[in-house]
Amino acid sequence: MNAMAIRHTAIIGWPEDPSDARGMALWTSDELAAATGGTVSCEFEVAGAEIDSREVMEGDLFFALKGEASNGHKFLDGAFARGAAAAVVDRPIDKPHVLVDDTFVALEAVARASRARIEDSAKIIGVTGSAGKTGVKEALFAALDRGSSLHGGGGRAHRSLKSYNNHVGVPLSLARMPPRTQFGVFEMGMNHAGELAQLTRLVRPHVAIITTIAPAHIEFFNSVAEIADAKGEIFEGLAEGGVAIIPADSPHYARLRAKAEQHAARVVPFGLAAHAQARLIDAVPAPGGGTLVTAQLGERRLCYTVSQPGEHWMVNSLAVMAAVMAVGGGLGAAGAGLALADLTDLPGRGKRLRVPAGNGQAIVIDESYNANPASMAAALAVLGEIVPAGQGRRIAMLGAMLELGA
């Protein structure tokens, strides 16, 4: 039988909501061959993309990447045992595959093809910053997915999962983007100059957000100003007519604005400062919990609730609102407003746990994912706002902050 006549059909499903993509393939073998310039062993369709064989789901495309400590080709059997529909490899195998010279180059090629095929149908947002990237990314996804679900069934927003924000995670997140995506939200990180410039040119966002500038990864920089310059690289990939959203209260505001103006058609500062175009007017405790925020967005005044505690969340909610407005999403009860009110705790980033303690219980605030001076200060401020019952105490258990230099 002609090998090209054999068709391997995957179970179709997107990473966010498998039921939202019935009857649609994420990638076909022909599309992958065209994107990578590789040779396909047979016809097939895939429903997702993965680089970790332990995370493979039914119908995924497994990229057998070579790393410093491991080689994905060693885990091909495990990937197919977990249900992979095909693999991208640099040597022939007896399973459906795309044969390429370099599997990482192929991953980037698929990422570019994914971004290109939604060029005229989707709006893309890129998020970076020394702290708050993942929270803002998740809030944006919730707001845009909620709004897009009002028009034609399930939500049509896509975002990078977890903290997939580096040179591997970003192209993987792009490769996973469904062709019918309406909004894409991608987190981008860096710890060296030049990294964001490469990532943002893959993502090519219509809106680029910098949440804050702080001495994170300063071991690799001579000053916080250099960190600001490195974060500002995100604007280099802005699509034509793009919008830059920057922290108005940052000591490096002028530096960020100058960089943004080189690439953006419009710059939107957010924060408490008088020059902020997305400005916090008031914040008071909401009757049902959370904080009731009053904000000015250009000519519009909005009131909405933010479920998460801390001034940093009040300020970051302004960036969320500004970005949603910039891409044409809904701001009110059907979109960003309700999404911010419904935000749940993120594991390792402020998630609250109730644990037994003596005859009662204690609240543990889990901020264990990562730390830098800015995020630590924000976490301690949230702890300081808690009023313990009775003779209760506030106890901070602090770990090391790495990459801060000598």
Mean confidence (pLDDT) of the chain = 86
CA 388 to chain centre: 34
Per-residue pLDDT band at 11 (split at 50, 70, 90):
very low
The answer to whether residue 23 scores a pLDDT higher than 50 is no
The answer to whether residue 17 scores a pLDDT higher than 50 is no
Question: Strand, helix or coil at 182?
Answer: coil
Condensed to tens digits (0 to 9), the pLDDT of residues 69-96 reads: 899 999 999 999 999 999 999 999 999 9
356, containing H or E segment: strand 351-357
From the list 383, 338, 330, 392, the residue with the least C-alpha distance to 360 is: 392
Measured between alpha carbons, how far is 329 from 217 in angstroms, rounded to an integer? Answer: 34
Residues 80 and 165 both lie in one domain: no
Residues 186 and 84 both lie in one domain: no
Residues 137 and 281 both lie in one domain: yes
Residues 135 and 91 both lie in one domain: no
Q: Are strands 157-159 and 183-187 parallel, antiparallel or unpaired?
A: parallel
Q: Indicate the number of domains in the chain.
A: 2
pLDDT: which is higher, 85 or 290: 85
- Of 85-89, 277-281, 319-323, 344-348, give the lowest mean pLDDT range: 344-348
Residues 52 and 147 both lie in one domain: no
Condensed to tens digits (0 to 9), the pLDDT of residues 304-315 reads: 999 888 888 999
pTM of the shown model: 0.83
Residues 98 and 122 both lie in one domain: no
Condensed to tens digits (0 to 9), the pLDDT of residues 135-145 reads: 999 999 999 99
DSSP-assigned letters across all residues of 132-180: -HHHHHHHHHHHHHHHHTTSSSS--EEE--TT--STTHHHHHHHT--TT
pLDDT: which is higher, 350 or 279: 279
- Of 213-217, 350-354, 360-364, 377-381, give the lowest mean pLDDT range: 350-354
Per-residue pLDDT band at 201 (split at 50, 70, 90):
very high
Task: Among 342, 366, 397, identify where a domain stops.
Answer: 342
Q: Give the domain extent around 160.
A: 118-342
Give a yes or no: residue 243 inside a domain: yes
Q: Residue 261 carries which side chain, given as an amino acid letter?
A: E
From the list 143, 226, 102, 127, the residue with the least C-alpha distance to 186 is: 127
150 CB-side CA count, 13 A: 12
Measured between alpha carbons, how far is 116 from 114 in angstroms, rounded to an integer? Answer: 5
Average pLDDT over residues 25-40: 98
Is residue 211 within 8 Å of residue 316, measured between CB atoms? yes
Question: Which segments within 21-136 are labelled E, that is strand?
Answer: 27-28, 39-40, 43-46, 48-50, 60-63, 86-89, 97-99, 123-128
Measured between alpha carbons, how far is 140 from 186 in angstroms, rounded to an integer? Answer: 10
Question: What's the CA angle centered on 374, arms 202 and 208, to 5 degrees?
Answer: 25
pLDDT: which is higher, 151 or 11: 151
The answer to whether residue 14 scores a pLDDT higher than 60 is no
Listed ranges 101-115, 214-228, 317-331; the one with the highest mean pLDDT: 101-115
Question: What's the CA angle centered on 393, arms 392 and 397, to 5 degrees?
Answer: 140
Task: Among 103, 135, 150, identify where a domain stops.
Answer: 103
Residues 92 and 137 both lie in one domain: no
Give a yes or no: residue 393 inside a domain: no
Specify the CATH number for the domain of residue 12: 3.40.1390.10
Give a yes or no: residue 213 inside a domain: yes
Residues 268 and 171 both lie in one domain: yes
Cα 402 to Cα 247, 251, 373, 376, 406: the distances in Å are: 24, 23, 10, 12, 10
Question: What's the CA angle centered on 378, arms 216 and 197, to 5 degrees?
Answer: 30
DSSP class of 393: -
List residues bridging with 282 in a β-sheet: 294
Condensed to tens digits (0 to 9), the pLDDT of residues 246-282 reads: 999 999 999 999 999 999 999 999 999 999 999 999 9
Average pLDDT over residues 28-36: 99
The answer to whether residue 5 scores a pLDDT higher than 50 is no
The answer to whether residue 148 scores a pLDDT higher than 70 is no
Give a yes or no: residue 80 inside a domain: yes
Task: Among 72, 103, 134, identify where a domain stops.
Answer: 103
Instruction: Go through the chain and tell me how many residues it has.
Output: 406
Average pLDDT over residues 91-113: 99
Cα 272 to Cα 85, 210, 291: the distances in Å are: 51, 15, 16
Other CB atoms within a 10 A radius of the CB of residue 134 amount to 24
Cα 54 to Cα 59, 82, 123: the distances in Å are: 14, 8, 32
Measured between alpha carbons, how far is 210 from 129 in angstroms, rounded to an integer? Answer: 5
Residue 288: predicted pLDDT: 74
